[in-house]
Structure 1
Amino acid sequence: MHSWNDQAPIYQQLADRLASQLLDGDPPEGEALPSVRALASQYLINPLTVSRALQSLVDEGLVESRRGMGMYVRDGARIRLLRSEREHFLQEEWPRLREKLRRLGLRPQDLNWEDA
């Protein structure tokens, strides 16, 4: 069962989940995404919500609609996502994380990168 929170609209949460999968190479560039119906069934949500999530990915240039064939991952989608996610992390998340580490008195040598 997939859980949703009240922090963002469900379509945006689904778009974020699908984008994370694309970042992991699932499905690979040039391949089709599952159909709206399949995603609605998988996530137990309204097909219109799925369509809105997919349109969000289209708007971001990550997937494209091929008339009568479905949605396909665009070439370069993974690198585009990677750049965007890195930028977001460095600009938004890292400063907060760095401040928390400082408050907790944690130093770089206290962090074990290998067990991640």
Structure 2
Amino acid sequence: LKEGDPLPSVRNVAAEYRVNPLTVLKGYQQLVDEGLVETRRGRGMFINAGARSLLLQGERQKFLGEEWPRIQATIQRLGLRAEELLNGSRPSSKAAPSKPAKPDPPEEER
């Protein structure tokens, strides 16, 4: 679906996915509440301009806040360098193998 496209009717979605129409209606209402969809009285619900950007912005924030810190920790733990990450699974023949980062000392030693 693109910006300006109508959403399928609640009845059609409920029938196609064999769910309660109230469940579909609640989902559609959440899309309205999030500013992704607008209701046009007597015409249905339509995808708002900028809906894709809003979704990508939310996904980006979630990635940077939740997933990226775990990825960074793994990169650091494995001692990976930017070159290795950019080359994927093909380590450069010029680069010396990287050494894994030293583990943190136990709490009692700090």
Secondary structure, counterpart of 2:6 in structure 1: coil
Alpha-carbon distance between aligned partners in 2 of 1:86 and 1:49, rounded to the nearest angstrom: 27
Once the two structures are superposed, what CA deviation does each residue of 1:56-101 show, in whole Å capped at 9, x if it has no partner?
A: 0100000011111111000111111111111111011211233244
**Structure 1 unaligned runs (5+)?**
1-26
**Structure 2 unaligned runs (5+)?**
90-110
Q: Which has the larger radius of gyration?
A: 2
Q: Which has the higher helix share?
A: 1
| Aligned position for 1:45 | 19
Task: Say whether residues 1:78 and 2:45 are aligned partners.
Answer: no
Instruction: Single out whichever of 58-67 and 87-96 deviates more from structure 2.
Output: 87-96
Structure 1 stretches of at least 4 aligned residues deviating more than 6 Å after TM superposition: none
Task: Say whether residues 1:94 and 2:68 are aligned partners.
Answer: yes
| Aligned position for 1:19 | none
Secondary structure, counterpart of 2:59 in structure 1: helix
Secondary structure, counterpart of 2:24 in structure 1: helix
Amino acid at match of 1:61: G
Task: Say whether residues 1:56 and 2:2 are aligned partners.
Answer: no
Once the two structures are superposed, what CA deviation does each residue of 1:2-41 show, in whole Å capped at 9, x if it has no partner?
A: xxxxxxxxxxxxxxxxxxxxxxxxx100110111111112
**TM-score normalised according to structure 2 size:** 0.68
Once the two structures are superposed, what CA deviation does each residue of 1:40-59 show, in whole Å capped at 9, x if it has no partner?
A: 12222111000000100100
More relative contact order, 1 or 2 (CA 8 Å, 6+ apart) = 1
Q: Give identity over the alignment, percent.
A: 51
**TM-score normalised according to structure 1 size:** 0.65
Amino acid at match of 1:54: Y
